[in-house]
Amino acid sequence: MNEHDEQEFAEYFAARQDSVRRTAYLLCGDWHRADDLAQTAFVALHRRWNRIRDRGATDAYLRKTLVRASIDESRRPWRREQHVDQVPEPEPAGERLDEQVALRADLLAGLTEVPPKQRAVLVLRYFEGLDVAGVAKVLGCSEGNVKSQTARGLARLRAVLGEEVETHG
């Protein structure tokens, strides 16, 4: 890569790294794994940087790479989570958490119980704000598949949270 391309990539990386890391966290539920996923996506983007003709499509390419890396990583045997019969009691907090923060924590915990592809669909639809067609393009599947994965993912999230999950959009 020439110096101009390196500079261009460095500027893009600086502008997008926090957003990509947050999306990765929503996909996997662990900040350390999110860092790894974001790094994987940016390395893949860097390898192809000088071959990208339409710079407007860079976000879509990066998002697709991130989602695929997340799904691939979840399939690795050493990444499978161990389920226990009883959840350990949380340590009592000194002060009561704000309701919004507690809801966010419950939602993030609930997302970890949703299968990887359904989680990817939910994150792309409701956190990244993509429409059904956009999610289908990122995941390389049909719009009908996105709709069914969304329905199943929301049903699983509702079951885990034990309440109605509101969706806007």
Range(s) for CATH 1.10.1740 in the chain?
1-77
Tokens 């592809």 belong to which residue?
A: 117
Range(s) for CATH 1.10.10.10 in the chain?
97-169
Amino acid identity of residue 90, one-letter, is P
Using one digit for the tens of pLDDT, what is the confidence trace for 104-149? 778 888 888 899 999 999 999 988 889 999 999 999 999 999 999 9
Taking the CA atoms of the chain, what radius of gyration do you get in angstroms? 18
Is there a contact between 28 and 71 (Cβ–Cβ < 8 Å)?
no
Comparing CA positions, the residue from 137, 139, 143 lying closest to residue 116 is 139
How far apart CA 106 and CA 96 sit, in angstroms, is: 15
Amino acid identity of residue 9, one-letter, is F
Using one digit for the tens of pLDDT, what is the confidence trace for 33-83? 999 999 999 999 999 998 888 888 899 999 999 999 988 887 766 555 565
Q: Which CATH number fits domain 1-77: 1.25.10, 1.10.3210, 1.10.1740, 1.10.150?
A: 1.10.1740
For the cut 70, the answer to whether the pLDDT of residue 168 exceeds it is no
Class of domain 97-169: mainly alpha
Q: Give the global pTM.
A: 0.57
